[in-house]
Each structure stands twice: as C-alpha cells, then as structure tokens.
Amino acid sequence: MSEAAAPLPLKQYPPCPNPDQAAMKRLGDAVRARLERDPQVERLPAEQAELWAAADFMSADECVRMMAMIDRTAVPSQILDHGYNEVWRTSYSGDVDIDDPFVRMIERRIDDLLGIPGEFGETMQGQRYAPGQEFREHMDWFWTKAPYFKTEAKRGGQRSYTAMIYLNDVEEGGETAFLNLGLSIPPQRGVLLAWNNGARDGSLNQFTLHAGTPVVSGTKYIITKWYRTRKWGHG
Ligand SMILES: O=C(O)CCC(=O)C(=O)O
Ligand SMILES: [Fe+2]
C-alpha cells in the first residue's frame, strides 16, 4: 500500500525549524475555532494554508481616515524594516501613531476578531504603494537561523498570524498573490485578510509565500498587523 504524498509547495525554500511550534499550534487551533464560528468571516479556498477574509471590516470613513494618517508619516519601507532591501519592498511605510485612540480602536477590533491577546501584536504598520511599487515574494515568518532571530526570539518569538486590511480599491494591479496556492486577492476597500503563518501542526508554512504585486494604476493603501506567539516586547 502506498500513501498519497503530501503536496509540496511549488516554490520551496530550505526547511526552517520552529522553536515556537507547540505555541503556534495552540494559537492556530484557538484562532481557527473562533473564526469558523464567526459569520462575518469566510475561509478562502486553499487546502495548504489557512486564509480568512472579512468584508467591510472597516467602514469607508475609517479607511479614508487611516489613509490620511499614512500619508502624514510615510517613509520608504527599508528605513523601518530589517531584511528587505529597497528592491524587494519598494512601497512607503507609515508607522501609525500607536497612542492615537482611533488606531488603538482598530487594533482592538482586529485582536478581538482573531481572539489573540493584544500584547502579542506588533505595532500596526501602514503601507502605501504608488504605480510600479511592490512587495516581492516572501513569507511573514522569521527565518529562525538568521542572526536577527536571536533578538526576535526574546521579544515575542515567531510571527504566528498576519492580519491585513485594504484601505482602498486599486484601479489596476496591487493584488496580494499567494504564489504557492494559486490564489490572488485584489484590494477591496475595508476587507480584512488574515492568515496563519504556521501549518496545522505549528510548523512554518511555506505555502504562505506571498507578494504584493506591482500597482499598475492608482495608489494602494493597506495596514498590516503581525502577531507573535508570545507577548511582543520592544526589545
Ligand atoms: O501588499 C500586500 O498585498 C502584501 C503586504 C505584505 O505582504 C506584508 O505587509 O507583509
Ligand atoms: Fe507579507
């Protein structure tokens, strides 16, 4: 008797151990149980990764207000990120004001939707992409053998879940493409997209490989919030 082989990601990277595997499995199980019962949320059609969407998570007014905040603070992404150079991520990042009551309200709503403690969440990040700008293929989880992980392990560990909200419709381009799943999500104002960076067993899931494809026409605004497996610290 032969067992059916598990499908492999189309694009594969070297295996990466996850010291936070047990905690990521527990967190993934809890989030799944919560989202499956939420009528506002739908599971996207992918077997190899857990992706969820909630339409109208933010109202049009809220989106406009958040876009204005991003415009006030936007700087080239590489100044805030480690690991991605100016070719890989060409968008502008707006580190929104974490003390602003409006920002905190949106953050609490995301925490509540997922059921992840607010202390696990990194500061929400805004992104703005002009035509031609993109965020090339990557996974949001940390490469645990890379030198930077020594620091990240001490301030919350692995990134367990990602939540993203599209703040506007984009005329052309700017989809979020999950290259190993054959799934591409066009920006749509107010839609929240969330995914588990781990597989069901808590290992790091290479099927979550994704890219913000180049904007062709229009401007794309999003906010992203990454959750760790433990309390996030400012290091
Ligand atoms: O712009 C997108 O659609 C993807 C953004 C992204 O992957 C990220 O912020 O981690
Ligand atoms: Fe990402």
3-state secondary structure 182-222: CEEECCCCCCEEEEECECCCCCECHHHCEEECCEEECCEEE
CB 224 less than 6 A from any atom of ligand 1: yes
210 lines ligand 1 (CB under 6 A): yes
Atom 6 of ligand 1 has which residue's CA nearest to it? 212
Q: Is 170 in the pocket of ligand 1 (CB under 6 A)?
A: no
Ligand 1 near 160 CB (within 6 A): no
Is residue 49 in a domain?
Answer: yes
Q: Is residue 193 part of a domain?
A: yes
Is there an atom of ligand 1 within 6 Å of 214 CB?
A: no
217 lies in some domain: yes
Q: Which domain holds residue 118?
A: 21-228
Whether 30 is in a domain gets the answer yes
| Residue 2, pLDDT score | 53
59-79: pLDDT as tens digits: 999 999 999 999 988 777 764
Segment 190-218 mean pLDDT: 98
Compute, in angstroms, the gap from residue 6 CA to the centroid of ligand 2: 25
For the CA of 226, the closest atom of ligand 1 is: 10
Asked if the structure places residue 233 within a domain, the reply is: no
Residue 1 has pLDDT above 60, yes or no: no
ipTM confidence score: 0.99
| 13 in a structural domain | no
Number of domains, the chain: 1
In a domain, 4, yes or no: no
Output the pLDDT for position 3. Answer: 59
Residue 212's CATH number: 2.60.120.620
Instruction: Name 37's Cβ contacts closer than 8 Å, sequence gap at least 6.
Output: none
3-state secondary structure of 70: helix
State which of 164, 180, 225 you would mutate to test the pocket of ligand 1, scoring each by most atoms of that ligand within 8 A of its C-beta. 164
Tell me if 173 CB under 6 Å of ligand 1. Answer: no
pLDDT at 215: 97
Instruction: Identify whether 12 is part of a domain.
Output: no
The mean per-residue pLDDT over the stretch 46-70 comes to 97
Give 81's pLDDT tier (boundaries 50, 70, 90). Answer: low
40 C-alpha to ligand 2 centroid (Å):
23
Mean pLDDT, the chain, rounded, equals 92
Buried b or exposed e, range 117-155, using 16+ CB within 10 angstroms: eeebbeebbbbbbebebbbebebbbbebeeeebeebeee
* 37 vs 77, residue with greater confidence: 37
Residue having the nearest C-alpha atom to atom 8 of ligand 1:
224
Distance, CA of 214 to CA of 141 (rounded, Å): 22
